[in-house]
Amino acid sequence: MKLRHQHIRENITGYLFILPQFLLFLLFVVYPILEGIRLSLYRVDYQNETFVGLSNYTTLFQDPVFFKSIFNTVIFVVFIVLLTVIFSLFVASSIFDKNAKYVSFIRGSYYIPVMVSMVVMSMVWSFLLNPANGLISYLTSQVGSGHVNLLGNKATVMPVIIFVTFATNVGQAIILYIAAMIGVPKDLFEAAEVDGASRIKVIFKILIPLVKPTTIYITIINIIAVLKIFVVIQLLTGGGPNNASVTMMYYLYNNAFKYNQIGVASAVGVIMFIITLLLSVPQLRAMFKDK
Local confidence pLDDT in tens for the 291 residues of the chain: 555 666 667 678 778 888 889 999 999 989 998 999 999 998 887 778 888 888 999 989 999 999 999 999 999 999 999 999 999 999 888 888 787 788 888 888 888 888 888 888 888 888 888 888 888 888 888 887 777 888 888 888 999 999 999 988 898 899 999 888 888 888 887 787 777 778 888 888 888 888 888 888 898 888 888 888 888 898 888 888 888 889 999 999 999 888 888 899 999 999 998 888 887 777 667 666 665
Is 214:180 a contact under the CB 8 Å cutoff?
Answer: yes
Q: What is the dihedral of CA 177, 281, 114, 95, to 10 degrees?
A: 10
> Closest Cα partner for 181 from 101, 285, 88?
88
Q: What is the pLDDT of residue 26?
A: 92
Give me the count of residues in the chain. Answer: 291
Cβ count within 10 A of residue 226: 24
Q: What is the pLDDT of residue 85?
A: 93
> Closest Cα partner for 259 from 41, 42, 45?
45
Is 244:62 a contact under the CB 8 Å cutoff?
Answer: no
Is 208:188 a contact under the CB 8 Å cutoff?
Answer: no
* Half-sphere CA count of 159, side-chain side, radius 13 A: 5
Residue at 54: amino acid letter: L
Residues in a beta bridge with 43? 50
SS3 (DSSP) at 155 = coil
Is 241:152 a contact under the CB 8 Å cutoff?
Answer: yes
> Closest Cα partner for 164 from 140, 137, 129?
129
State how far the Cα of 137 lies from the Cα of 152, in Å rounded to an integer.
12
Class of the CATH-defined domain 71-264: mainly alpha
